Amino acid sequence: MTKKYQRYVHLLQKVADLEAVQALLGWDQEVNMPEAGAASRARQLATVAGLSHELSTSEELGDLLDALHARGDQLGTAERRNVELSRREYLRQRRYNRDFVERHSRLCSEAYEKWLQGRTTNDSTAYLEVLDRMVQLKREEAELLGYTDHPYDALLDLFEPETTVAELDPLFAEVRKKLVGFVARIREQAPIDQAFMQQKFATDVQWDFSLLLLRGMGYDFAAGRQDLSPHPFTTTFGPGDIRVTTRAEENNFANMCWSSIHEGGHALYEQGLPAKAYGLPLGKAASLGIHESQSRLWENNVGRSKRFWEYWYLRLQEHFPRQLARISLHQFYRAINRIEPSLIRTESDELHYHFHILIRYEIEKQLIAGSLEVAQLPEVWADRYREYLGLEVPDARRGILQDIHWAYGSFRYFPTYSLGSFYAAQFFHRAQQELPQLERNLAAGSTGTLLVWLREKIHRHGQHYSASDLCQRITGEKLNFQYFMSYAEKKYDEIYFKSL
């Protein structure tokens, strides 16, 4: 390793250290921070964000990257890929200035507090005011970054590199064409009884069971922890410290259970990335779509499968004997896979879920393009829910205040959720082909072979391959929506149209 490359690694790891400090401050803001600390925390986050940006766009780093890029033939394959991706990111970050970065950080902190207050009071008025400023800032960001066809492309590339509106529009057209009709057929069937899921489930017992699930998945508690927060998330402070949060509702067991599994899937990916590449592209996830593929694979392909609960349902009954003693596995399995439109994205079934994403994707594109203004959001949101899910939005909490993403400036994030589900179906199909004992192992409570497969096929590579190339490498083809449709049709035909 050359001295220049060593210096490059040193600088990027210092940037990663500052990003970890930001993440820690953000985690504490959502988990522990008292309300009165909001203003000073916003300032602290902005200061650290500014320092991180300053270092990641320094002349020294730029000169190093240019020199290493020019001598690429003297570097190994992994080193060349790190330099290539770092140089691309460096040139992009140079388009920002410190003032923009600090304004963005302060606005995110302010928007988060207004979102949290709005959730408490069920009033979106103050949140919409700050969200309007956030949208203006994101439009400014799109112009800073530049784009060819649609301003949303500039923001999308930050989370899902090389993906554009021109690619996503046909994908969501398939959702409308294939999934909407299939779901409509299901909704014509008699509803599945799910009443027992709304009994009183003590939150401390739910918590204990969620920890068992995380351990069963392979989550390493020596390198992480779980806490409570208003909106579940996963955060990384570096190798050896990958944390998840969840939320609990005493009368809704499903909320904590599947949010813990979902975030556990994210955390397993982070725990599987190569620690020696800390701060470097090869130590980071390939894309958010691939990241979501890991959480959705564990949440749905595994965590809502009958095989998985053949083992775990007995343990769940032991935790809640009064509530579940008379409920069979058959009843439980059907209940956790009930298809019914819901106002809340995170509580939605795995098919209607993509209608929620479609709504947000369409709204985000319009907001960034300037064809929709924030003041119109409540009305447009209500119209889309009426159109796509046949539901009336009764209040702000179950409307535009249900997601935290826009408060954090995360426009372009939502499409990655659907991409993740579609990648997950394709990956899981391949895993079933390559691991003939997979179903039997899941029924025995063993997820180790699946985790090893994911580590080998996905986690260890970091950003060595693009999302599209990684999918091609694993499955032999690019992302194909038909895998998700085939999975959905097989599973829900058995639940709704055939005798199990």
- The DSSP code sequence of 208-233 is HHHHHHHHHHT--GGG--EEE-SS--
Q: Tell me which residue has tokens 């005798």.
A: 499
Q: Supply the pTM of this predicted model.
A: 0.92
Q: Which CATH class is domain 3-146?
A: mainly alpha
Rg, Å, the chain Cα set: 23
Edge to edge, the sheet with strand 242-246 lists 226-228, 242-246, 234-236
- Beta strands 226-228 and 242-246 are parallel
Residues 6+ positions from 471 with CB-CB distance below 8 Å: 423, 426, 427, 477, 478, 479
- Beta strands 242-246 and 234-236 are antiparallel
H or E segment to which residue 336 belongs: helix 329-336
- Residue 1: predicted pLDDT: 60
- Residue 500: predicted pLDDT: 46
Mean pLDDT by groups of 10 residues along the chain of 500 residues: 91 97 94 92 92 94 96 92 96 91 92 94 97 97 95 93 93 93 93 92 97 98 95 93 94 92 98 97 97 97 98 98 96 96 92 96 96 96 95 96 93 94 98 97 98 98 96 97 97 84
| CB contact at 8 A, 262 and 424 | no
Nearest CA to 261 out of 237, 290, 226, 285 is that of 226
The domain ranges of the chain are 3-146, 165-200+282-305+324-496
Which CATH architecture is the domain 165-200+282-305+324-496 placed in? Orthogonal Bundle (1.10)
Q: Would you give the distance in Å from CA 189 to the centre of its chain? A: 31
Q: Is 395 left (phi over 0), alpha (psi -120 to 50) or beta?
A: beta
Enter the tokens of residue 69.
């890029």
Q: Does 263 participate in catalysis according to the annotation?
A: yes
Enter the tokens of residue 404.
């935290």
- Residue 499: predicted pLDDT: 52
Write down the catalytic residue from 113, 160, 263, 270.
263
Q: How many helices (H) and strands (E) does the chain have?
A: 22, 3
Considering all CA atoms of the chain, what is the largest pairwise distance in Å, rounded to the nearest integer? 69
